[in-house]
């Protein structure tokens, strides 16, 4: 029994001694351990330390973890699981290196979601050339593609409130009192400022010049190199006004969503300048400036002062045009009056008669020496009376209820035709659709009411202009402008006798054509021939003489 105890004790002493020697050997000689199977550490593993404070603790002068792999890239897989349940995956990220050759690779972080294998979604790439982004191939030093519909970039203050952000649609916002690009001395073009300035600038490459906007607390300076000289002002409703100051002209041009309206002062004189000036008594344009229903002179032109003796021209709010002097029309030579065309075949140069069955209407003359003849349809009248209507009420007053009813029946098709064929209305209709879409997407709450009101006003103006254009088109199609005085081209038929200069003209049996008068009956003469016409049918100039 004693011998057995001694044997066991001796073996234990030997194992203890070998263990101590092995530990001493490992600690003093840097023993290498190679294991080809599965190794399990139940507690913690230390490399370079005998007291690891994490499950894996590396300690040393060159304390690094190195992983080599000859395919697919070495990778760390970081997996978060449910508390107490390692089979319930919350989230998995893979941190790895992806390389295709010597010194040709990227550092990547992929999001696997709840999977523990596969490619996943790229969250970060540091490319071989140093470009960083959340795409697989960054195209800039920092390339971020917004994965959602929120802001693309946001910078917060130390209090956690946003100071600067870029929206997903590209809008940039700086929240604060100033947006500053400060310049200590001068701009690239040599423009000096007396104190640090808020500056937005664009330098022309290699020219030493730049266009810039600078605000330094004393002055505001806007400059553009060359002769473009353009300043554009845009309000919150996207209506733009351009102020162009070039070498020989100043142009104020509005390019609104619905209107293209230009005010331009241009140097065209030999003296090298154009002056538009007033001291308050020279000329003025006044509308309904206080936004009520009271009438104001819309246009005034005065020589020197506002007294009646100095008044040269005035367009009153009630529609009267008053001039002091002579009105010259340099391109046409007759006065015409509008009549309703009962005969759709009527055209310029035709001889027409009064329609006894319809008031203020004419038909083609079809009988020789017709006493109901009224004259000739003007080709290019210099002055027209009653040829247009500004409203349906005006149309009724001039032509009666039946004509108004005809317009109302044609109004929709007229507007549709104008909106699809006239370039101005086509552009304005397209802009209206674009503005409506823009308002729905981009208007901020603070501007919503104003933007909607502006859109409604512009829409109403477009509708009013279409109405005016439709009335004009209606009048052009249905009214004959009959010459009352002056000289006009007239269609003639010389088969009833050759026409000589000075011959009186009357209606012929050829519809719409005149002939030489022989012993005319009073009330049948329409004019006097100003040029001869020997044979056949054609047109000559005639002096209007209704007698």
Q: Are residues 200 and 75 in the same domain?
A: no
Evaluate whether residue 19 is within a structural domain: no
pLDDT band at 199 (very low <50, low <70, confident <90, very high): low
Is residue 166 a part of any domain in this protein? no
> How many distinct structural domains can be found in the chain?
4
Which has more confidence, 427 or 204?
427
Helix, coil or strand: residue 414:
helix
Tell me the two tokens of residue 73: 């890239």
Residues 317 and 437 in one domain: no
DSSP lists the bridge partners of residue 168 as: none
453 Rama sector, left if φ>0, alpha if ψ -120 to 50, beta otherwise: alpha
Domain co-membership, 347 together with 370: yes
Domain that holds residue 310: 283-323
**247-254 average pLDDT score:** 56
Whether the pLDDT of residue 487 is over 90: the answer is yes
- Asked which of 93, 128, 145 is the last residue of a domain, the reply is 145
In a domain, 39, yes or no: no
**438 shares its domain with 497:** yes
Cβ of 512: how many Cβ atoms within 10 Å?
A: 24
Residues 353 and 296 reside in one and the same domain: no
Residue 355, domain CATH:
2.40.300.10
Q: Does 10 reside within a domain?
A: no
**In a shared domain, residues 214 and 288:** no
Identify whether residues 381 and 522 lie together within a single domain: yes
Strand residues in 51-84 grouped as ranges (E): 56-58, 75-82
Q: Is residue 210 part of a domain?
A: yes
In this structure, the answer to whether residues 340 and 316 fall within a common structural domain is: no
pLDDT in tens, 77-87: 999 999 999 89
Residues 491, 344, single domain; the answer is: yes
Domain match, 134 and 183 both:
no
Find the mean pLDDT for residues 326-353: 91
Mean pLDDT of 34-61: 84
The answer to whether position 259 is within a domain reads no
Q: How far apart are CA 405 and CA 425, in angstroms?
A: 25
- Residue 50 shares a structural domain with residue 77: yes
* Residues 515 and 538 grouped into a single domain: yes
Give residue-wise pLDDT tens across range 493-540.
999 999 999 999 999 999 999 999 999 999 999 999 999 999 999 999
User: Has residue 111 been placed in a domain?
Assistant: yes
Q: Is residue 20 part of a domain?
A: no
């Amino acid at each position: 029994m004693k011998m057995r105890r001694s044997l066991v004790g001796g073996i234990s002493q030997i194992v203890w001694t070998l263990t101590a020697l092995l530990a001493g050997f490992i600690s003093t000689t840097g023993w290498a351990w190679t294991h080809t199977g599965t190794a399990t550490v139940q507690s913690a593993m230390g490399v370079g330390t005998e007291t690891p404070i994490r499950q894996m603790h590396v300690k040393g002068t060159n304390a690094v973890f190195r992983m080599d792999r000859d395919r697919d890239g070495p990778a760390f897989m970081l997996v978060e699981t449910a508390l107490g349940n390692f089979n319930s995956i919350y989230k998995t990220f893979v941190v790895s290196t992806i390389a295709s050759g010597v010194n040709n690779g990227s550092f990547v972080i992929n999001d696997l979601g709840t999977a523990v294998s596969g490619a996943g979604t790229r969250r970060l790439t540091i490319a071989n050339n140093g470009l960083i982004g959340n795409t697989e191939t960054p195209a800039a030093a920092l390339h971020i593609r917004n994965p959602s519909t929120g802001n693309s970039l946001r910078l917060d203050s130390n209090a956690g409130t946003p100071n600067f952000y870029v929206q997903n649609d590209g809008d940039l916002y700086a929240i604060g009192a100033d947006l500053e690009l400060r310049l200590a001395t001068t701009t690239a073009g040599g423009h000096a400022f007396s104190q640090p300035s808020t500056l937005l600038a664009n330098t022309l490459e290699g020219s030493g010049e730049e266009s810039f906007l600078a605000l330094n607390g004393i002055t505001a300076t806007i400059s553009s190199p060359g002769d473009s000289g353009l300043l554009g002002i845009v309000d919150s409703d996207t209506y733009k006004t351009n102020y162009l100051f070039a070498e020989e002209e100043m142009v104020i041009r509005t390019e609104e969503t619905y209107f293209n309206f230009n005010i331009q002062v241009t140097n065209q004189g030999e003296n090298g300048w154009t002056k538009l000036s007033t001291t308050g008594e020279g000329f003025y344009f006044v509308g309904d400036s206080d936004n009520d229903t009271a009438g104001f002179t819309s246009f005034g032109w005065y020589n020197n002062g506002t007294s009646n003796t100095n008044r040269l021209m005035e367009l009153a709010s009630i529609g009267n045009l008053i001039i002091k002097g002579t009105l010259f029309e340099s391109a046409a030579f007759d006065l015409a009056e509008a009549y309703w065309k009962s005969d759709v075949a009527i055209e310029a140069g035709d001889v027409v008669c009064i329609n006894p069955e319809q008031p203020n209407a004419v038909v083609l003359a079809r009988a020789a020496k017709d006493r109901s003849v009224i004259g000739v349809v003007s080709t290019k009248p210099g002055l027209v009376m009653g040829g247009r209507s500004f409203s349906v009420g005006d149309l009724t007053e001039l032509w009666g209820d039946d004509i108004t009813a005809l317009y109302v029946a044609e109004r929709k098709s007229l507007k549709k035709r104008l909106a699809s064929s006239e370039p101005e209305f086509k552009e304005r209709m397209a802009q209206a659709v674009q503005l409506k879409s823009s308002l729905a997407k981009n208007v901020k709450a603070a501007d919503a009411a104003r933007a909607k009101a502006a859109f409604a006003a512009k829409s109403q103006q477009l509708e009013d202009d279409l109405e005016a254009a439709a009335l004009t088109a209606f009048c052009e199609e249905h009214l004959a402008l009959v010459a009352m005085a002056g000289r006009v081209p007239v269609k003639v038929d010389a088969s009833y006798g050759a026409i000589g200069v000075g011959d009186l003209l009357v209606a012929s049996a050829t519809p719409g054509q005149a002939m030489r008068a022989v012993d005319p009956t009073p009330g049948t003469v329409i004019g006097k021939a100003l040029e001869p016409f020997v044979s056949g049918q054609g047109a000559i100039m005639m002096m209007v003489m209704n007698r």
